[in-house]
Amino acid sequence: MATLEIRDLHVTVEADNATKEILKGVDLTVKQGETHAIMGPNGSGKSTLAYSLAGHPKYTITGGTVTLDGEDVLEMSVDERARAGLFLAMQYPVEVPGVSVSNFLRTSATAVRGEAPKLRTWVKEVKEAMQRLNIDPSFAERNVNEGFSGGEKKRHEILQLELLKPKVAVLDETDSGLDVDALRVVSEGVNRVRETGEVGTLLITHYTRILRYIKPDFVHVFSAGRIVESGGAELADKLENEGYEVYTKGGASA
């Protein structure tokens, strides 16, 4: 069973000519088949956790460990993390001029799988996945994310998730900027991957609306760079009713 283990993770970032500690000792275990929701107010460190796991050079790990199946993730390059089975769906997917969606997807699959997928079966696989996500087939020949709406960008992220089949998927505020219809389609895509039982999901959000579609096994409250409370899905209902004020005012201990 694939397991992502985060132990006492500390992360800093350079801002305004100063070093600022963002993550202040994060402990979390995500196992294959589990869905964990991380919730918290803006600025609490949720996205920093996501990008630190993926290896973004902006963030400096100053303490702690991250392992995937016992392998040291922090010693891996970004592409090695992807090949090891770690996937990040970005809050703000970037445009990649000059690279078509079809080429991007096949190149990514080749890198992750270790060999190029057979063209005939690959074309069928992509076409079926695009249909499930209501993505127009013409998007395959467009440059990655260029001119895409917010909903189109997020559906493209989930398309990658379905095709690359990672061990652990980190979804950073996948619900941001989505209307109700797009949120439903994206959530259905995530649920299809979850139902295989082959992926651990770390869902980062500060709204509960996506949790109406994607039911978490565990909910963790993030505040001031650490997890301050954990529980089941009922914890999300508590946050919906009470907000984060009790945590931001120091009402919960780390």
Per-residue pLDDT tens for 129-165? 999 999 998 999 999 999 999 899 999 999 999 999 9
Sequence-distant (≥ 6) Cβ neighbours of residue 234 within 8 angstroms: none
Name the band, by pLDDT with cuts 50, 70 and 90, for residue 250. Answer: low
Whether the pLDDT of residue 251 is over 50: the answer is: no
Residue 15: the pLDDT is 84
Provide mean pLDDT across the span 13-25.
Answer: 92
Name the band, by pLDDT with cuts 50, 70 and 90, for residue 88. Answer: very high
Provide mean pLDDT across the span 210-239.
Answer: 94
Provide mean pLDDT across the span 78-93.
Answer: 93
Q: To 10 degrees, what angle do helices 119-132 and 180-194 make?
A: 130
- For the chain, how are helix, strand and coil distributed in percent, rounded to 5? 40, 30, 30
Residue 124: the pLDDT is 94
Residue 2: the pLDDT is 87
Provide mean pLDDT across the span 16-31.
Answer: 94
Q: For the domain bounded by 3-96+167-248, which CATH number is listed?
A: 3.40.50.300
Whether the pLDDT of residue 114 is over 60: the answer is: yes
Buried b (16+ CB within 10 A) or exposed e, 162-192: bbbbbbbbbbbbbbeebeeebbebbbebbee
Strands (E), 16-164: 18-31, 35-39, 59-68, 71-72, 86-89, 96-100, 143-144
